[in-house]
């Protein structure tokens, strides 16, 4: 069918020339009928055969020429250098040469700007990664002091310092992951994870954040095994925990963070519900809480947000093939569900 379309496109592109040729033939047929009535049929037959042969030969040449131009144009689009531009000009009609040269100049100009922006972006990413590694040194020193000089500090002062340190670690982790969002290679290692035990371990690692806000932790459900990347999953849980502690309602007496594992028999999927009893999110804001930079318009939950934590959660979840779902009403807390993919082992 492809060759039929090529022939149709050829007739459509050069229809005016074919119409002129047919009109000329009709004129000569009329003249032959007037001048040579005795040999009219022979002349008309020869003229029709000759016309069909010329049309077939023209179509063949046009299609072959078109293929050569298409191949040269494809190479020119992939790499619009001066060599490919010259090749395209040589196979194209001379009337198109000014347009080809102008197009090549514009493409090369945009390509140079793009290369410069890529270089600047790479330098920026390298600077951010270097800065993150540098800031980890004083944080590690702070940890060393807090561990070895705890007897010289009051319990409240030490708890506040641990809280600030963990907040800084969380901020550093977010900025590092954000800088790596556009990376083509990400070193995820998928392995079997006991979900409930992993949540408990993550809670222990961020206990100071939860203690500072007075959170009570609850675990519901049975232990379940999933396949995921430990660092990536820990990053997701950390951001959700930090989000709950950041937006705990003022003067809230008993903030609760609940982790519930559920197995959905219908979809054959494991689900982790992370639920708090904070101020919640308004119905208008809920569909947008995973959007970049969204801080909410009317919801009290998102009023103090930077709009980056849950956005990064959505990006990491996408990389790990984890579906996200959020349910909430104002004053009733927020539930974020992690739906893990079913993997045949």
Domain containing residue 333: CATH number: 3.30.565.10
Cβ contact 279:336 at 8 Å: no
How far is residue 67's CA from residue 240's CA, in Å, rounded to a whole number? 56
Cβ contact 182:315 at 8 Å: no
Q: Which two tokens stand for residue 101?
A: 């040269």
Q: pLDDT by residue (tens digit) across 163-208?
A: 888 888 888 888 888 777 766 667 788 999 999 999 999 998 888 8
Residue ending a domain, choose from 145, 180, 215: 180
Beta carbons within 8 Å of 84's beta carbon, 6+ residues apart: 72, 75, 76
Residue 198: predicted pLDDT = 94
Regarding whether 257 and 125 lie in a shared domain, the answer is no
Query: Quick one: residue 7, left, alpha or beta (phi over 0 = left, psi -120 to 50 = alpha)?
Result: alpha
Residue 45, classed as helix, strand or coil, is helix
pLDDT (average), residues 54-82: 89
DSSP type of residue 267: T
Regarding whether 171 and 65 lie in a shared domain, the answer is no
Pairing of strands 190-194, 256-264: unpaired
User: Does the structure show a pLDDT above 70 at 253?
Assistant: yes
Residue 102: predicted pLDDT = 93
Share of the chain above pLDDT 70, in %: 93
Regarding whether 214 and 285 lie in a shared domain, the answer is yes
Q: Which of 184, 178, 167, 187 is nearest to 129 (CA)?
A: 178
pLDDT (average), residues 279-299: 77
Residue 236: predicted pLDDT = 93
Regarding whether 155 and 208 lie in a shared domain, the answer is no
Domain extent, residue 229, equals 193-340
Instruction: Determine, yes or no, domain membership for 98.
Output: no
Instruction: Determine, yes or no, domain membership for 150.
Output: yes
Instruction: Determine, yes or no, domain membership for 113.
Output: yes
Q: Return the beta strands (E) in the chain as ranges.
A: 190-194, 216-220, 225-229, 256-264, 269-276, 323-328, 334-339
Residue 323: predicted pLDDT = 95
Residue ending a domain, choose from 67, 92, 117: 92
Distances (CA, A) of 182 to 177, 235, 247, 286: 10, 17, 29, 26
Instruction: Determine, yes or no, domain membership for 102.
Output: no
Instruction: Determine, yes or no, domain membership for 345.
Output: no
Q: Which of 243, 330, 224 is nearest to 279 (CA)?
A: 330
Residue ending a domain, choose from 61, 92, 123: 92
Residue 213: predicted pLDDT = 79
Q: pLDDT by residue (tens digit) across 202-231?
A: 998 888 878 877 889 999 999 999 999 998
Beta carbons within 8 Å of 33's beta carbon, 6+ residues apart: 40
Regarding whether 309 and 232 lie in a shared domain, the answer is yes
Regarding whether 306 and 283 lie in a shared domain, the answer is yes
Q: Which two tokens stand for residue 198?
A: 């992993």
Number of domains in the chain: 3
Regarding whether 199 and 247 lie in a shared domain, the answer is yes
pLDDT (average), residues 275-304: 74
Residue 122, classed as helix, strand or coil, is helix
When mean pLDDT is compared over 43-52, 56-65, 189-198, the highest value belongs to 189-198
Q: For 48-62, 70-84, 285-299, which range has the lowest pLDDT when averaged over its residues?
A: 285-299
Regarding whether 312 and 197 lie in a shared domain, the answer is yes
When mean pLDDT is compared over 14-23, 188-197, 304-313, the highest value belongs to 188-197
Regarding whether 252 and 325 lie in a shared domain, the answer is yes
Q: pLDDT by residue (tens digit) across 112-164?
A: 999 999 898 888 888 888 888 888 888 888 888 888 887 888 888 888 888 88
Residue 183: predicted pLDDT = 66
Mean pLDDT, the chain, rounded, equals 85
Regarding whether 321 and 223 lie in a shared domain, the answer is yes
Position of tokens 């459900």? 221
Instruction: Determine, yes or no, domain membership for 255.
Output: yes
Instruction: Determine, yes or no, domain membership for 185.
Output: no
Regarding whether 174 and 55 lie in a shared domain, the answer is no
Instruction: Determine, yes or no, domain membership for 262.
Output: yes
Regarding whether 205 and 167 lie in a shared domain, the answer is no
Residue 168: predicted pLDDT = 85
């Amino acid at each position: 069918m492809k060759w039929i379309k090529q022939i149709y496109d050829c007739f459509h592109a050069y229809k005016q020339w074919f119409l002129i040729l047919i009109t000329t033939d009709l004129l000569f047929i009329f003249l032959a009928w007037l001048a040579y009535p005795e040999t009219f049929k022979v002349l008309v037959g020869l003229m029709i055969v000759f016309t069909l042969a010329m049309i077939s030969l023209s179509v063949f040449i046009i299609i072959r020429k078109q293929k050569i131009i298409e191949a040269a144009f494809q190479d020119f689009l992939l790499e619009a250098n001066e060599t490919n531009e010259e090749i395209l000009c040589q196979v194209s009609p001379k009337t198109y040469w000014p347009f080809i040269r102008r197009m090549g100049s514009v493409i090369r100009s945009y390509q140079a700007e793009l290369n410069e922006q890529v270089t600047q972006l790479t330098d920026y990413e390298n600077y951010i990664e270097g800065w993150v590694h540098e800031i980890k040194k004083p944080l590690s020193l702070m940890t060393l002091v807090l561990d070895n000089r705890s007897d010289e500090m009051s319990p409240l002062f030490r708890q506040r310092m641990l809280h600030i340190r963990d907040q800084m670690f969380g901020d550093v982790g977010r900025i590092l992951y954000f800088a790596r969002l556009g990376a083509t290679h990400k070193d995820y290692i998928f392995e079997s994870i006991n979900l409930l035990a992993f949540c408990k371990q993550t809670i222990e690692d961020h206990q100071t954040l939860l203690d500072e806000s007075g959170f009570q932790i609850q675990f519901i459900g049975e232990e379940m095994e999933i396949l995921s990347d430990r660092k990536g999953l820990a990053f997701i849980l950390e951001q959700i925990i930090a989000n709950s502690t950041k937006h705990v309602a003022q003067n809230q007496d008993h903030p609760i963070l609940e982790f519930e594992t559920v197995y959905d028999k219908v979809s054959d999927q494991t689900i982790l519900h992370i639920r708090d009893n904070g101020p919640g999110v308004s119905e208008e804001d809920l569909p947008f809480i995973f959007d970049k930079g969204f801080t909410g318009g009317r919801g009290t939950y998102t009023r103090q947000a930077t709009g980056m934590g849950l956005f990064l959660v959505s990006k990491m979840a996408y990389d790990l093939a984890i579906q996200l779902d959020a349910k909430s009403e104002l004053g009733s807390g927020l539930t974020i569900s992690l739906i893990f993919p079913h993997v045949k082992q």
